[in-house]
Structure 1
Amino acid sequence: MKNKVEFCELSQDDFAEIIPLAQQLNPKLSELELKDFLFQMFGFSNYYCFGLRENGSLIALSSGWITVRFYSGKQLEVDNVIVDQEIQSNGYGKVLFQYIEKWANKKECKSVELNTYLENRRSHKFYHQNGFSILGFHFCKFLK
């Protein structure tokens, strides 16, 4: 990391910057599909989108949902974690999560939770190194 980075909450006004990063995580989705999903997500009152800017450019982002669960109480469930592939492994992910955790504390969340794909071993190592532990399995059944 060479320059100072800035943490921010993103909005629908930031779609033009969000979509290119989102396509790095979801290359099979078109710009139109991503825009439609973003409109839907921003429509929920418990949805937040976080960004990390360097020299004014969006270099990382993540979504978050505030929910309440029996086992954890109020939580921030993080998803769609993306650091621009051109600058990965330079400490930006750690900085992004430090800001997200501070934000969650201010919102009185008791935990920050997330899912990551089984084959994404680099992310497993990253999350373990940053204080996350595995609590269980995430199951999904796609409906027609």
Structure 2
Amino acid sequence: MDKTTIEVLQSENEIMRAFPVMKQLRTHLDEKAFLGLVLEAKAKDRYNLVALIDDGEIVAVVGFKPMITLYYGRFVWVCDLVTDAKRRLKGYGEKLLQYVHGWAKEYNYESVALSSGLQRTDAHRFYEDKMNYDKVSYVFKTSLK
């Protein structure tokens, strides 16, 4: 019997339960910055934070938001996707992306997109080989500080 569940994290306490797993991806964030950014993104950007829970423990987290651009049209952007390092290769990331795909279809979005750090070659194989994502562009960034 599958003991995993997927939960949308709403309250501050629920959001903070995801921090130990999210910290593995977003190493630059402390708890205060994480909570502040999630709450602001939820309020201003329709950001959704969703956890996959196995036997009562958060083992993977996805953060995503709906967007509209001239390039992609109506789409969902996956901002964050991470599985606990000790729990990888169990299909948790796939389950969370399937959840995002279902959410996007339910709300009439046309596609799902994400970016992934150049060094994350295992993640790239997962997106391309397992999830059938196409590599369509590079993402460029500049700091304004």
Report the TM-score when normalising by structure 2. Answer: 0.90
- Asked if 1:35 corresponds to 2:29, the answer is no
Q: Deviations over 1:16-70 (max 9, x none)?
A: 2121112111223222222222222222252111221112322111111101122
In structure 1, distance between residues paired with 2:107 and 2:51 = 17
Partner SS state of residue 125, structure 2: helix
* Partner residue, 2:4: 5
Q: Deviations over 1:58-89 (max 9, x none)?
A: 21111111011223221000011111111011
Mapping for residues 125-136 of structure 1, pairs under 5 Å: 125-129=125-129, 130-136=131-137
In structure 2, distance between residues paired with 1:16 and 1:49 = 11
Q: Please list every run of 5 or more consecutive structure 2 residues that lacks an aligned counterpart in the other structure.
A: none
Partner SS state of residue 71, structure 1: coil
Partner SS state of residue 126, structure 1: helix
Which region of structure 1 is more displaced relative to structure 2, 73-82 or 5-14?
5-14
Partner SS state of residue 29, structure 2: coil
AA aligned to 2:90 is N
* Partner residue, 1:16: 16
- Asked if 1:138 corresponds to 2:139, the answer is yes
Instruction: Give aligned-pair identity as a percent.
Output: 23
In structure 2, distance between residues paired with 1:87 and 1:55 = 12
Report the TM-score when normalising by structure 1. Answer: 0.90
- Asked if 1:59 corresponds to 2:64, the answer is no
Q: Please list every run of 5 or more consecutive structure 1 residues that lacks an aligned counterpart in the other structure.
A: none
Which region of structure 1 is more displaced relative to structure 2, 42-51 or 66-75?
42-51
In structure 1, distance between residues paired with 2:7 and 2:31 = 23
Equivalent residue pairs, number: 143
* Partner residue, 1:82: 82
RMSD: 1.6
In the TM superposition, what is the alpha-carbon distance from 1:116 to its structure 2 partner?
0.2
Partner SS state of residue 21, structure 2: helix
AA aligned to 1:140 is K
In structure 2, distance between residues paired with 1:29 and 1:72 = 29
4+ residue runs over 3 A deviation:
none
In structure 1, distance between residues paired with 2:44 and 2:72 = 21
